[in-house]
Structure 1
């Protein structure tokens, strides 16, 4: 804030100088105008000869000045010298045919004589206003040029006095203003400096809220917003720490199994036992691979905000049909009937095809794992008014209402479940659904009539495509 004040000071001085010169010119220009007007009244034309009726005393009065040198000059229309100082410069358009300055009014211009700047007042006078315009001739000139000039010493003195009267107080007042501003800024910003030092002194893992009681009221909203951000950041870091700890814990089981089976295979001599150990090793490897893939999928989903997704118009029915076809072989291996149902019309939503395929794959995988052999899994796409519905239903054991709010948590497993899994699939589903603005609901399968296997129905409700969602990509 102090720097702009220091920059404005020279500008203020320059403006003051220009204004002072303008003010100083006005009274002296007025006096110069009076002189040239009085001199013009003394010019006469008799029998084609221009003369001035100017006694010596009047000449002395005309040139009287204690500071400046005063000059005057009278020329006829042909530029011949009539009276006064011969060396006084003529107007620039004196020899031209233009009448811009030859209107009888007093005009001013700046010039120089012997290197000294001059202020000149001049006018053209018509000596015989009744004569016709075409009667002018060198022998009978009708116009004469009258000029009075003076040097600029008085003007410079007055301008300097004005500048001194304005600038000198500034030299006294401005440092006082700067000191007061600096003091006010230092006092006002000192709490921010203290807050800065307190934040800088914190360790990298200290995300505790800042005590708002020790800051001025003016920056309390800033501290409040900063505390909210620190709280969100702390929650995010805690979630990441828990995620890493849970992931490490989950990885222990398949890795320990792989190590145990490999060591057992090394000790076995019977080929059949070695083969069984290798089969178990392959299963553990498959489980570890699936866990790693799901961890990567969840990380991609969580670290890909809605604004970063490339959304486009997607035929949800066509996408679901392709994903179901990819899982047909897996359903055969589980001896489960995997079906697909859709309406004849296209069901178009705005979304990211890669992420939606990941979402549906996790729902189908979850259904196949929990549905007993001989059961069925059905993927259904339909439209309900303006919204699109994606449903995956199975004939498995179902999910109790008390568990439905928890199954979307990472690494959550329903107690008593014998199905293998990492507990990440539904967490991935929730994350991707949230990025697409979709709601996920869990119901019992309305088509199941078994008390032991009531089945589950996962329903995703997608909002209608909005142009803004597509334009954002």
Structure 2
């Protein structure tokens, strides 16, 4: 790009090459992250007490421009009395970011994303619901599998985000549930043990 900055006819080709390199880099980084997340090493993860309301705000701040560009309405309902979990900030951040990024990508322009924080017994549930494309119920069981992407999707991606999310949550003794949203999209529940 520096060498041929004065050749406007090459700009578009160089942008395509740069986009492909960035996408390949993201795939490689995701694969390396998956390979490093060995369930037998869960106890070795550096963990701290995390306030999920603060973490959720951090994630949305990073994705806010993306949501605003699509005029997406975003609401948070906090019903949880206990919002602290014991975990690795970077990994839990990655989970929430992956799910919220997907919700924004698949929600149509002017759509709605609802986030709820709930307590159920000794667990915190982060429920993210979008107005994305209607999913076939049969596909729900395949969500979270490596490289799985629903046919016909026009959104860029590697099919690794939800599998990474699922693995990280399992490393924190939690689970991820997928269900169909009454709004026409997807509901993802990140279920984590509350910090004692």
TM band (smaller chain)? 0.7 to 0.9
SS at match of 2:116: strand
* Matched residue, 1:407: 143
Q: CA deviation at 1:370?
A: 1.9
Structure 2: 5+ residue runs without aligned partners? Answer: none
Q: Deviations over 1:265-296 (max 9, x none)?
A: x8xx972x322223323322332232233223
Quote the offset at 1:356 in angstroms: 0.5
CA–CA distance in structure 1, aligned partners of residues 80 and 150 of structure 2 = 38
**Structure with the greater alpha carbon radius of gyration:** 1
TM-score (norm 1): 0.38
What residue number does 2:186 align with?
456
Residues 303 and 460 of structure 1, relative CA distance in 2, 3 Å threshold: closer
**Which residue of 291, 294, 300 corresponds with 2:27?**
291
Give the number of aligned pairs. 193
The 8 Å contact of residues 72 and 104 in structure 2, kept in 1 or not, is answered as yes
* Residue segments in structure 1 that go unaligned for 5+ positions in a row: 1-261, 449-453, 467-473
Whether the aligned pair in 1 keeps the contact of 2:137 and 2:180 (CA below 8 Å) is no
Q: How does 1:44-123 map to 2 (within 5 A)?
A: none
Q: CA RMSD in A?
A: 2.5
Shift of 1:382: 2.3
Change (3 A) 1:303 1:344: closer
CA distance in 1, matches of 2:113, 2:61: 13
In the alignment, does 2:77 pair up with 1:341? yes
Checking the alignment, whether the CA contact within 8 Å between 2:83 and 2:194 is kept in structure 1 is no
Instruction: List per-residue Cα deviations over 1:322-381 (Å, max 9, x = no partner).
Output: 111111122234443344332474412222212100111111122222222222333332
3-state DSSP of counterpart to 1:418: coil
Partner SS, residue 362 of structure 1:
helix
Contact preservation (8 Å) 2:128, 2:187: yes
Q: What residue number does 1:394 align with?
A: 130
Counterpart check, 1:436 vs 2:172: yes
Give the superposition deviation at 1:389.
Answer: 0.6
Distance 2:7 2:193 in 1: 60
TM-score by length of 2: 0.84
State the secondary structure of the residue aligned to 2:37: helix
Partner of 1:313: 49
Residues 324 and 340 of structure 1 are in contact (CA less than 8 Å); yes or no, is this contact kept in structure 2? Answer: no
Separation in structure 2 between the aligned mates of residue 464 and residue 310 of structure 1, nearest angstrom: 17
Cα separation, 2, equivalents of 1:280 and 1:304: 40
Over 4 Å off, 4+ runs: none
